[in-house]
Structure 1
Amino acid sequence: MVSELVAAGLPYALGVVMLGLGLGLTVDDFLRVGRHPRAAAAALLCQIVVLPVICFGLVLAFRLPPELAVGLMLVAASPGGPTANLYSHLFGGHVALNVTLTAINSVLVVITLPIVVNLSTAYFLAGGAEVGLQTGKVIQVLTIVLVPVAIGMLVRARAPRVARWLDRPARVLSILVLVVVISTVLYGQRNGLADSFGSVGPAVLAFNVVSLLVGYGVPRFVGAGHRDAAAAGFEIGIHNTGFAMTIALGPTLLNNAEMALPAVVYGIVMFFTAAGFGRLITRRDVREPVLVGRTPVEEAG
């Protein structure tokens, strides 16, 4: 009952968190993404092309059963989401870039996810059924991400003192939401947790770690700044596993509980690996400060 209540209330809680993120953003933050598009272009390339290729290689290397292989490919094809924005906010990433990438990926997934999943089912499953993607989930993601952020930005523009006053409570709420989500997932999966991790855990962990590193490393390689690369790392490494589970379990979609298993395990693992990744990248000797109540200092490149 508690898990059901948390699941029902989570979109609203994430909406409040996204409003808090909007309190720290200005229009110029988004314009900066356009002026320095390297990180955005690199992240989109990783999300759409590089990750599915890496995931396919790992699936073959770990010799996953067909249904689990398709399930992990489904995770690779799923977009980032509000949780990626939240981690970026907590660890000093360029949140405006996260919001932009989440919005773009949530639209592109209508095309990219069916391609990846249909190719995967054709390869791993004899006569695998094709899957299309309803726009309802896409609209839900965009609503949770964009509308609260826009409201927060409006408050900052019209009442900056109120925005500064709300900044600390918003950060505390962000951490609280993370703790509740992690606790709920662990509690809900407590009975079959060992079996789930035993069957698909190593492949999920490897894919998650590689995703975080690729998401950070590729933008840095093409000359993006640390904050932009950090945002891209979280966006690439933290997938919308709820979205993936919906596709796997949907009666009009894949309708296969075993295919949802990689998303369940990934949804647990990513909270911890992302926290470790955030700690790692914030220990850099030279990093850009995150200023409250001002536009962050722009990093060259």
Structure 2
Amino acid sequence: MKTIEKVSAFTGNTFAIWVILFAIWAYFMPSGFTWIAPHISLLLGIIMFGMGLTLSIDDFKGIIKMPKSVLVGVISQYTIMPLLAFGLATAFQLPAEVAVGVILVGCCPGGTASNVMTFLAKGNTALSVTITAVSTLLAPLLTPALTLLFASKWLPVSAGSMFMSIVQIVLLPIVLGIVVRLLFRKQVEKSVKALPLVSVVGIVAVAAAVVAVNNTAIAETGLLILSIVMLHNVLGLLVGFFVAKLLRLNFDDQKAISIEVGMQNSGLGSTLALAYFAPIAAVPSAIFSVWHNISGPILATWWGKRTTKKQTEASAAGSRQIS
């Protein structure tokens, strides 16, 4: 078990590298990964079940302990990214399927990797976990509704069917995971350290499958989509931070909300895009999965080092005053 835990910790810490490597591999050798595409919903369900296993009632107590910060985070999650996506799709006059793909990933809840990034940034990790949990549980209602609102300009959106899909592949697995944790706490706590390995394998497989299915389209429009995705993510991080700052939340909360807003559940975006739109609509989510696992660690590391430096300087100043 310890070996699995070590492998799990290693893959979790090097997550971005694996996503990039397998995405490149899938691009040049698509036949080795296209078989995964029909099983993407199952993979996402397994990832969400794993997320449920890591959640407890305490994670939702943040709603009571930090109501303002949680409210700001959840509202920011479901307004900033959809609006930015709609604005970018309109400004760059994207093809219909690509525009819908960008909007879809913008309407998804925060990704679980945001919790790790917030921890590395020395932000409010408890707040990050609560926002991720709440935004994910709201996804069956808000993701289809927002996609209908912003994407129907380009393509028809079946919000009702999308609602049922998210309930089946997100909400039910999470609830099942929470129930299993409540019933078998000791057994779950022994195995929970292996869950990052399951999540990494699942997300890498989803990203690789989407790239493999769309390698020809990526060759034609990949640079444009990459540019849009990078802008979307970076603007989300910036706007999320400044909204939290404007509302006078403390710096740790500002970092958590910035990361929550900027990092999306791109696996859900890919799954819904493949189910309800053309395969090319899943590409923005796949590229988002690669890119936000580059920008997130960079920002988190910078914030983390900056915070450590300030703490060291404050400690040194306090020591000098005492002496």
* TM-score under structure 2 length normalisation: 0.67
Aligned equivalent of 1:114: 148
Identify if the C-alpha distance between structure 1 residues 61 and 233 changes in structure 2 by more than 3 Å, giving closer, same or farther.
closer
For the 8 Å contact 1:22–1:148, the answer to whether it is kept is yes
Separation in 1, partners of 2:201, 2:95: 37
Find the counterpart in structure 2 of residue 87 from structure 1: 113
Q: Which runs of 5+ in 2 are unaligned?
A: 1-30, 120-124, 309-323
2:142 alignment partner, SS class: helix
Residue identity opposite 1:197 in structure 2: G
Alpha-carbon separation, structure 1, partners of 2:65 and 2:107: 27
Asked whether 1:51 is paired with 2:81, we answer yes
Q: State the partner residue of 2:132.
A: 98
Aligned equivalents of 2:265 and 2:47: distance in 1?
20
User: Is residue 2:40 matched to residue 1:14?
Assistant: no
Taking only aligned residues, the RMSD between alpha carbons, in angstroms, comes to 3.3
Per mean C-alpha deviation after superposition, the further-off stretch among 268-277 and 234-243 is 234-243
Partner of 1:25: 55
CA–CA distance in 1 between the matches of 2:157 and 2:217? 30
Q: CA deviation at 1:170?
A: 1.1
Q: Is the 8 A contact 1:43 1:236 kept in 2?
A: no
Structure 1, residues 208-264: CA drift from partner, whole Å, max 9, x if none? 332244345534553162445533432488872432454444xxxxxxxxxx64x33
- 1:180 equivalent to 2:205? Answer yes
- Is there any run of 5+ residues in structure 1 with no aligned partner, and where? 122-128, 250-259, 288-301
* Secondary structure at 1:85 match in 2: coil
Structure 2 distance, partners of 1:108, 1:137, is 11
Q: Structure 1 residues 238, 23: CA separation in 2 closer, same or farther (over 3 Å shift)?
A: closer
Pair 1:99–1:170, CA change in 2 (3 A) = same
Distance of 2:186 and 2:106 partners within structure 1: 41
Would the aligned equivalents of 1:215 and 1:235 in 2 still touch at CA under 8 Å? no
8 A contact 2:137–2:171 mirrored in 1: yes
Alignment of 1:280 with 2:306, yes or no, is no
| Contact residue 245 and residue 264 of structure 1 kept, 8 A | yes
Question: Could you tell which deviates more after superposition, 165-174 or 204-213?
Answer: 204-213
Match of residue 271 from structure 1: 289
Number of equivalent positions: 263
- CA drift at 1:167: 1.2
Pairing partner for 1:152 from 174, 177, 201: 177
Query: Is the contact between residue 106 and residue 264 of structure 2 (CA under 8 Å) also seen in structure 1?
Result: no
Question: Percent identity between the aligned chains?
Answer: 19
State the partner residue of 2:4. none
Deviation at 1:172, TM superposition (A): 1.1
Larger Rg: 2
SS in 2 for 1:191: helix
Q: Once the 2 structures are TM-superposed, how far is the Cα of residue 169 of structure 1 from its aligned partner?
A: 1.8
What letter matches 2:231 in structure 1? A
| Matched position secondary structure for 1:79 | coil
Match for 2:230 among 205, 216, 233? 205
Please tell me whether the aligned partners of residues 182 and 268 of structure 1 are also in contact (alpha carbons under 8 angstroms).
Answer: yes
CA separation in 1, counterparts of 2:234 and 2:177? 32
- Residues of 2 paired with 1:236 and 1:39: CA distance? 20
1:37 corresponds to: 67
CA shift at 1:78, angstroms? 3.1
Larger deviation, residues 268-277 vs 202-211:
202-211
- Distance across 1 between alignment mates of 2:195 and 2:158: 33
3-state SS of 2:111 partner? helix
Question: Residue 194 and residue 227 in structure 1: after superposition, are their counterparts in 2 closer, same or farther (change >3 A)?
Answer: same
Distance 1:47 1:39 in 2: 12
The question of 1:234 aligning with 2:268 is answered no
Indicate if the aligned counterparts of 2:52 and 2:178 stay in contact, CA closer than 8 A: yes
SS, match of residue 263 in structure 2: helix
Distance in 2 of aligned mates of 1:141 and 1:180: 19
- What is the aligned counterpart of 1:161 among 186, 190, 204? 186
Q: CA deviation at 1:89?
A: 4.8
More helix by share: 2
Mark the CA change 1:151 to 1:248 in structure 2 (over 3 Å): closer, same or farther: closer
User: Partner of 1:218 in structure 2?
Assistant: 243
Secondary structure at 1:182 match in 2: helix
Distance in 1 (CA, whole Å) between partners of 2:180 and 2:94 is: 50
